[in-house]
Chain A
């Protein structure tokens, strides 16, 4: 496989909780990532203890967000962990590290601890270079992207749209909400938060909602992910306590939660095995099965028809656009 300049060997990965959670597992960190469908207090409370929110959105270079009024102030003196994104495709892993590097007394595997320690005194640019230069980290990251049976590089194919996604981490550092965006020169400091009630999450909700509202409706494609403590160990120990006599309703509820969590892990494992797999053999096998079943010819004809319709539709849309102009 050829390695081009922009990616330095970092492959594109999906921005999916299953992918992030697998990466965290490889890093030896007892955290997982879940989808966050809403910022309301109940949704957030259900995911506690929450360590960081990851906001990812389609990066639109033309709608420069420096022109609009943005909350927060640059903090060049930020004493926490902040690394610049210096390589394409590494953005997801970099965002995770920008979060992990700021979690006090984080439990982690030896390689990650060493990397965090080694880069502790570096400036954000150098730190970014060191992170993206770590072969072991790149291998962990690439482990969840499909193997290339064929090199698509240099064939002039359109690149996947996912690489236009941009990652921003929000998390509490030393009493204030911080926004860490590897494409920005500095960490961005938002308000100090009140430790009572929802704490930093209240500030984070306000900041993220305000940010979403600065984009015209429909112009922003985004999703939110929650970096949280793995709930399984705590659920299991709660279950042990609840299985004492007379506690069965509580135990049943815990069992339901545990089985939900396990079902989710099974789904992640299933999808991750598909992500790592080279499907070319299966493609051939399925086509062969269609041919043996005497259905390949028919399928081919209907595929040609579908393509023709699609091209006509595209033409019709193109014609409409011409009239508009």
Chain B
């Protein structure tokens, strides 16, 4: 059994699952693996399960067109357990999807079934970007390289997710440095302070009701200046301001600010955003003056 000389039609991360003896319960096995569908050197269609830790091809089934199908086990709690079954026999092979995100499960399954029905089937991919899946062969490459996880010394095998957690914690300092490198000259968090806003509400009470539509719809109290004060002081609001400030600093919010009725230019930084707001305010006030004239 070998992948050498085989043409990989499709590959994705999946583990095996086994039926518990004497019951209908299917238990996912934690071993990391991947499913490959290949056109073998023998010119036959192979369904291969490869252990991503050892690299061994532990399962190699030769399939005939229309005979096999890969379907979801609807009773499974996680919703990610699938069974490979055959029209010609009662054989069942269970698998569970191991891509960290379940969003692409359906896509893999549709393409797999497409290929099981028709070896010339062309796979459809909705996204080829984020998970690095440019094509079947490069996906397979990516899977096997991530599989070479280091064994932990404690005897407790860390899961890829746990390793990722650690990695993320270790890296977060470094990533912070990147974002801070663009030394900003001001922050929205220093503008939307209670110190700036509360005097505004007292001096211009007429501006307060215009803010009510922006308050949470499920606020347990009626919108009021008091509720607004509570919100401005809240850690949730402050962290939202800080997140927006950070996102704006990337200069990549052109699309978002358009939905706020601002020119795309406003999404390129804090300065441009504030200028656009000032222009919006001037424009609206001009209109009001004209209306009253």
Contact surface of A with B, Cβ cutoff 8 Å: 2-6, 8-9, 59, 61, 66, 84-88, 114-115, 118-119, 121-123, 125-126, 129-130, 133-135, 146, 149-150, 152, 154-159, 161, 163-164, 183-185, 266, 269-271, 273-293, 295-297, 299-300, 302-304, 306-308, 311
A150-B277 contact, Cβ under 8 Å, with A300-B186, A307-B185? no
**Least CB distance, A311 to chain B, in whole angstroms:** 7
Answer yes or no: B118 CB below 8 A from chain A CBs.
no
* A86, A130, A277: the one within 8 Å of B159 (CB): A86
What number of A-B contacts does a CB cutoff of 8 Å give? 239
**Least CB distance, A5 to chain B, in whole angstroms:** 4
Contact B100 A290 (CB under 8 A): no
**Least CB distance, A72 to chain B, in whole angstroms:** 16
Contact A295 B200 (CB under 8 A): yes
A5-B164 contact, Cβ under 8 Å, with A158-B176, A282-B237, A303-B191? yes
Contact A304 B156 (CB under 8 A): no
Contact A303 B186 (CB under 8 A): yes
Answer yes or no: B130 CB below 8 A from chain A CBs.
yes
Contact B256 A158 (CB under 8 A): no
Contact A271 B188 (CB under 8 A): no
> What residues on B are CB-neighbors of A154 within 8 Å?
130
20 examples of A-B residue contacts, CB within 8 angstroms: A5-B131, A6-B168, A66-B154, A86-B159, A121-B20, A126-B28, A129-B78, A157-B246, A164-B172, A273-B219, A274-B234, A277-B236, A277-B240, A280-B244, A283-B240, A284-B277, A289-B210, A291-B280, A299-B196, A300-B274
* B184, B191, B230, B281: the one within 8 Å of A300 (CB): B191
Instruction: Tell me the B184-242 residues at the A interface (CB within 8 Å).
Output: 184-188, 190-192, 196-197, 200, 203-204, 207-208, 210-211, 213-221, 230-232, 234, 236-237, 240-241
Contact B200 A3 (CB under 8 A): no
> What residues on B are CB-neighbors of A277 within 8 Å?
215-216, 236, 240
Answer yes or no: B103 CB below 8 A from chain A CBs.
yes
Q: Which of B130, B156, B216, B234 has the most CB of A within 10 A?
A: B216
Q: Which of A135, A282, A293, A296 has the most CB of B within 10 A?
A: A282
Contact B253 A150 (CB under 8 A): yes
The residue in chain A whose Cβ has the minimal distance to the Cβ of B78 is A133
A87-B161 contact, Cβ under 8 Å, with A130-B77, A290-B196, A307-B184? yes
For the complex of A and B, list the 6 residue pairs with the smallest distance between their C-beta atoms, beginning with the closest: A133-B78, A291-B281, A158-B176, A303-B190, A279-B240, A277-B216
A282-B277 contact, Cβ under 8 Å, with A133-B78, A155-B247, A273-B220? no
> What residues on B are CB-neighbors of A311 within 8 Å?
183
Instruction: Tell me the B149-190 residues at the A interface (CB within 8 Å).
Output: 154, 156, 159, 161-162, 164-166, 168-170, 172, 175-176, 178-180, 183-188, 190
Answer yes or no: B260 CB below 8 A from chain A CBs.
yes
Give the distance in Å from the alpha carbon of A163 to the alpha carbon of B164 in the complex: 12
Contact surface of B with A, Cβ cutoff 8 Å: 20, 25, 27-30, 77-80, 96, 100-103, 130-131, 154, 156, 159, 161-162, 164-166, 168-170, 172, 175-176, 178-180, 183-188, 190-192, 196-197, 200, 203-204, 207-208, 210-211, 213-221, 230-232, 234, 236-237, 240-241, 243-244, 246-247, 250, 252-253, 256, 260, 262, 274, 277-278, 280-282, 284-285
**Least CB distance, B149 to chain A, in whole angstroms:** 13
Contact B186 A157 (CB under 8 A): no
> What residues on B are CB-neighbors of A304 within 8 Å?
185-186
Give the distance in Å from the alpha carbon of A274 to the alpha carbon of B214 in the complex: 11
Contact B221 A270 (CB under 8 A): yes
A152-B243 contact, Cβ under 8 Å, with A9-B103, A121-B25, A287-B274? yes
Give the distance in Å from the alpha carbon of A270 to the alpha carbon of B102 in the complex: 33
Contact B178 A270 (CB under 8 A): no
**Least CB distance, B152 to chain A, in whole angstroms:** 10
The residue in chain B whose Cβ has the minimal distance to the Cβ of A287 is B277
> What residues on B are CB-neighbors of A283 within 8 Å?
188, 192, 240-241, 244
**Least CB distance, B133 to chain A, in whole angstroms:** 12
